[in-house]
């Protein structure tokens, strides 16, 4: 079939697309793992029943990130413009932040490409995701209770090349679905001396570049199959929903962290990890 075909071979209902868009948008930038949530949601919706639909839905789970990408472009345009000014030699702070993002992304990309096949073969299952949710939740709770996230720290413009390397290398842990790229980025950025506020912003900026690269890579590899399997219109609905929900999630997260801290995400991860194991034991996943 042609890559331009718009009539789907396998049904992806509008309701399915809206659910996936909500899950992607609400979880992409929160430290709870959007990949883990999308994989489990796909199982619950029965979207992996055939080999063709499984391949297409895995591609869609990446490409739907476009909505979240656009959301951060809207919300952090001033910072992004500062980074572009840094590229043009107009902002020293923007240049330093841009270099830090590019260096951290470079290590993430190299490690991700080298380990992609092994991760997909061994860790793309509900059991490994549930373990990652639980372990990550405990880590957040321990760090929160010990005041890790409350320490004063430097701003993004003070990040060094060495700091960026540490953050990029630690991103390797986030390749495990359920761990959360956002969680690892925030922890690593606080580890190298930044404030929690700066760490959260850096996770958004690094995520913007990482998601864009991952979406382009996956889209080139499986975009035609995605369109042949699910058509065009319904997946686009999910993308729009992802954009709107990501905007809301990012605004909520920033406001919440300013007033109440990081601990809620630890409790959430523990709860959803336990729930996933209950679903597994009951045979629902």
CA distance 13 to 18: 9
* pLDDT for residue 10: 55
Query: Residue 49 — very low, low, confident or very high, per pLDDT cuts 50/70/90?
Result: low
Give the C-alpha separation, 161 to 177, whole Å.
27
Does the pLDDT at position 29 exceed 90? yes
Q: Is the pLDDT of residue 7 over 90?
A: no
**Least confident window among 12-26, 42-56, 196-210, 262-276:** 42-56
Residue bearing the bigger pLDDT, 94 or 1: 94
Q: What is the mean pLDDT of residues 233-243?
A: 94
Cβ burial 241-250 (10 Å sphere, 16+ → b, else e): bbbebbbebb
* pTM of the predicted model as reported, rounded to 2 decimal places: 0.89
Q: Which two tokens stand for residue 116?
A: 């992609």
Averaged pLDDT for residues 218-241: 89
- The answer for residues whose C-beta is within 8 angstroms of residue 134's C-beta and 6 or more apart is 269, 270, 273, 274
* pLDDT tens figures, 114-143: 777 788 777 788 999 999 999 999 999 999
Using the structure block, give the residue that is written with the tokens 């925030």. 186
The model's pLDDT over 16-28, given as tens digits with 9 standing for 90+, comes to 999 999 999 999 9
Mean pLDDT of all residues in 246-256: 94
pLDDT for 83: 96
Q: Cα angle vertex 123, ends 22, 34, to 5°?
A: 15
- Spatial separation of the C-alpha atoms in residues 117 and 30, rounded to whole Å: 26
Q: What is the pLDDT averaged over residues 219-225?
A: 85
pLDDT on residue 71:
94
Q: Look at 187 and 116; give whichever has higher pLDDT.
A: 187
Q: What is the pLDDT of residue 124?
A: 80
Q: For the chain, what is the radius of gyration of the CA atoms?
A: 19
pLDDT cut 70: percent of the chain above it:
95
- H helices of the chain, in order, are 14-27, 34-45, 51-63, 65-75, 77-87, 92-122, 126-145, 161-170, 181-191, 196-230, 233-259, 263-282
Separation of alpha carbons 98 and 87, rounded Å: 8
Mean pLDDT score, 66-75:
93
Q: What is the mean pLDDT of the chain?
A: 89
CB 29 within 8 A of CB 206: no
Burial class for 277, CB neighbours closer than 10 Å (0-12, 13-18, 19+): middle
Alpha carbons 199 and 133: distance in angstroms, whole number: 21
| pLDDT bracket for residue 199 (50, 70, 90) | very high
> Which has the closest alpha carbon to 131: 175, 183, 178?
178
- 179: Cβ–Cβ under 8 A, 6 or more apart, which residues? 33, 36, 132, 136, 173
136-161 pLDDT, tens digit per residue, is: 999 999 999 999 898 889 999 999 99
pLDDT at residue 258 is higher than 90: no
* pLDDT score recorded for residue 3: 42
Torsion angle of C-alpha atoms 156, 202, 110, 138, degrees rounded to 10: 120
DSSP states along 124-149: -SHHHHHHHHHHHHHHHHHHHHTTGG
- The confidence score (pLDDT) of residue 175 equals 86
pLDDT tens digits along 155-174: 999 999 999 999 999 988 88
Can you list the positions of beta strands (E) in 101-211? none
Q: What is the predicted pLDDT for the residue at 55?
A: 80
| Non-local CB neighbours of 218 within 8 Å, separated by 6+ positions | 59, 62, 63
The C-alpha atoms of residue 259 and residue 39 are separated, in whole angstroms, by 32
């Amino acid at each position: 079939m042609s890559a331009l075909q718009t009539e789907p071979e396998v049904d992806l209902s509008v309701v399915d697309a809206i659910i996936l868009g909500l899950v992607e948008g609400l979880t992409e930038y929160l430290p709870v793992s959007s990949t883990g949530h999308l994989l489990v949601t796909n199982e619950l919706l029965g979207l992996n029943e055939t080999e063709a639909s499984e391949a297409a839905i895995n591609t869609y789970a990446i490409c739907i990130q476009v909505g979240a990408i656009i959301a951060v472009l809207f919300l952090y345009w001033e910072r992004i413009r500062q980074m572009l000014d840094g590229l043009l030699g107009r902002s020293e702070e923007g240049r330093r932040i841009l270099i830090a993002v590019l260096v951290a992304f470079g290590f993430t990309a190299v490690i991700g490409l080298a380990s992609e096949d092994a991760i997909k073969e061994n860790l793309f299952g509900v059991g490994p995701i549930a373990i990652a949710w639980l372990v990550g939740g405990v880590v957040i709770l321990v760090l929160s209770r010990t005041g890790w996230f409350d320490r004063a720290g430097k701003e993004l413009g003070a990040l060094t090349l060495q700091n960026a390397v540490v953050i990029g290398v630690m991103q390797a842990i986030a390749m495990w679905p359920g761990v959360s790229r956002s969680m690892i980025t925030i922890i690593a950025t606080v580890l190298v001396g930044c404030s929690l506020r700066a760490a959260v912003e850096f996770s958004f900026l690094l995520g913007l570049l990482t998601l864009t690269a991952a979406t382009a890579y996956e889209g080139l590899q499986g975009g035609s199959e995605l369109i042949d399997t699910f058509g065009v219109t319904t997946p686009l609905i999910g993308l729009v929903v992802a954009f709107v929900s990501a905007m809301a999630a990012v605004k909520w997260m920033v406001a919440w962290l300013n007033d109440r801290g990081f601990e809620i995400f630890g409790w959430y991860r523990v709860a959803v990890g336990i729930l996933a194991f209950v679903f597994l034991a009951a045979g629902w996943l």
